[in-house]
Chains A and B, each alone.
Chain A
Amino acid sequence: MTAGLWQNWVLPGIWITVQLLVYSAALAAVTAFAVGMARTHRSRAVRFLAGLYTEIFRGTSALVLMFWLFFVVPPLMGWQLVPMWAAVLALGLSYGAYGAEIVRGALNSVARSQRESGIALSFSPWQRMRLILLPQAVPEMMPPFCNLLVELLKGTALVSLLGVGDVSFAAYLVRLATQESAQIYTISLVIYFVLAMVVTRSMKALERRTKRNIGIEPEPALLGGLFARRSASAAGTEVAGGASK
């Protein structure tokens, strides 16, 4: 592979993938917290709407959703989404739905007495959420969120099918140019693997930090960073089990 291919396609592709990951993770996080908290709301209507949202976005395929946002919404609304934003919207909204389940699970796992003590102190529901429930639930969410973020990273590869120039799309172009499939696809798999390692490492650090904030120390990572996700995956199976792409 010549230097030109790297500079013109592969390196910009990595940058696009990173951007996609950051934007859609931000959107997914906002969605996950909003919907997840709404699922523990007092009002039945709010709970129902939030539940409907999760089931719809978890029920359909992210790729179909992406195509739908790209091809169906524009004529309906009369405006066109840039492929990049259609992709961010589809990834953020569908992974946000998976995240909402994590948020809900973590909120529900906070001890009952904690909520009751908030009521006893006559905190408003929002104060209870902000000052009591969330600080305890957030460290709990970290390992499954870490898994979800890796799934999201893998999901970003789908945008190449809309013609967004990410790593996968770069690989496709390089394959056309050089006809050396094994080489470029191995390289791009390794790029994704390295990105995923960066993600798991940073999430581990974040988990440590959120736990220290409320005075719990996390267990030491088993076998270092490479296999760090293993200990988390057991806890994540029920919640993020349906997650993928």
Chain B
Amino acid sequence: MTWDWSAVADFMPRFWDGVLVTLQVLVLGSLISFSLGLVWALAFRAPSRFVRWPVNVFTEFVRTTPLLVQLFFLYFVLPEWGVQFSALTTGTIAIGLHYSTYTAQVYRAGIDAVPRGQWEAAKALSLPAHRTWSAVILPQAIRRITPALGNYVIAMLKDTPLLAAIGVLELLQQSRLESASTFQYTEPLTVIGIAFILIAYPASLLVRSLERRLVR
């Protein structure tokens, strides 16, 4: 078995299509996970136990069960309930929901790290609750947690191939289609494997430098 450069060249159009879909999933999935995670994190601090408890159990459950099974769950069960989404939408929602339970923990840690005095100051100024959060607590919390969120975006990137299982045309699915039509398995799979490393490694360097700059 030898390496065939023409197979790589043939794969390129599909490869770029896959890159686009992967990035689309990544961007929308990140947005979902960042905003939903914040909702969970605020709910963790809700005054009522009847809000805190279900949210805790739900996020813990989603966090400790496999994304792949959740993906199938949404893909096969939502239509039974009369909600019909495309595979791409389902996949993006699944990945965003799954990672929102991680970002929720990150937000929680960030919020807990804001010094007590800041809460007291907001109280002393008699700021309303939404101003306390939006002007005092969250800006300080989010600065600290940006690197941790970045790490989860990278993790999310490496989970996007799971969406191939429901037929989303991201990188892995594109390489499988290519292999199915040309019987060349080596080149497409190797190309996308290297592509992941080439994106993930510089991204992790970026996160590390952010960490040095923002956290201390």
Contact = CB atoms under 8 A, between A and B. Distances in A.
Contact of A154 (B65, B151, B200, B201): B65
A67 interface: yes
B11 to A, nearest CB: 14
A57 B104 CA distance: 27
Interface stretch (B31-39, B69-77, B83-91, B121-129): B69-77
B56 interface: yes
A63 B65 contact: no
A154 B69 CA distance: 9
B158 A245 contact: yes
B152 A75 contact: no
A156 B68 CA distance: 10
B155 A241 contact: yes
A161 B66 CA distance: 13
A172 B77 CA distance: 12
B132 interface: no
A197 B105 CA distance: 18
A76 interface: yes
**Chain B: interface size category:** 35 or more
A127 interface: no
Interface in B185-216: 185-186, 189-190, 192-194, 196-197, 200-201, 204, 211
Chain B, interface SS category:
helix
B148 interface: yes
Nearest to B165: A161
B106 interface: yes
B105 A158 contact: no
Interface string A191-229: 011001100000000000000000000000000001101
B65 A193 contact: yes
A58 B200 contact: yes
A19 interface: no
Contacts of A3: none
Contacts of A59: 196-197, 200-201, 204
Interface in A13-72: 55-56, 58-65, 67-68, 71-72
A71 B65 contact: no
B197 A55 contact: yes
A67 B81 CA distance: 33
B1 A76 contact: yes
Interface stretch (A81-89, A137-145, A182-190): A182-190
Nearest to A172: B72
Contacts of B80: 181-182
A237 B148 contact: yes
B159 interface: yes
A150 B196 CA distance: 23
A4 interface: no
A182 to B, nearest CB: 5
Given A157-B69, A160-B68, A245-B67, A68 B193 contact: yes
B185 A192 contact: no
Contacts of A62: 158
A68 B64 contact: no
A22 B185 CA distance: 30
Contacts of B154: 242
A61 B192 CA distance: 10
Interface of B: 1, 56-57, 60-61, 64-70, 72-73, 76-77, 80-81, 105-106, 109, 147-148, 151-152, 154-162, 164-165, 171-172, 179, 185-186, 189-190, 192-194, 196-197, 200-201, 204, 211
The 9 A-B pairs with the shortest beta carbon distances in the complex, nearest first, are: A241-B151, A157-B66, A59-B197, A181-B76, A196-B64, A244-B155, A75-B1, A185-B73, A154-B66
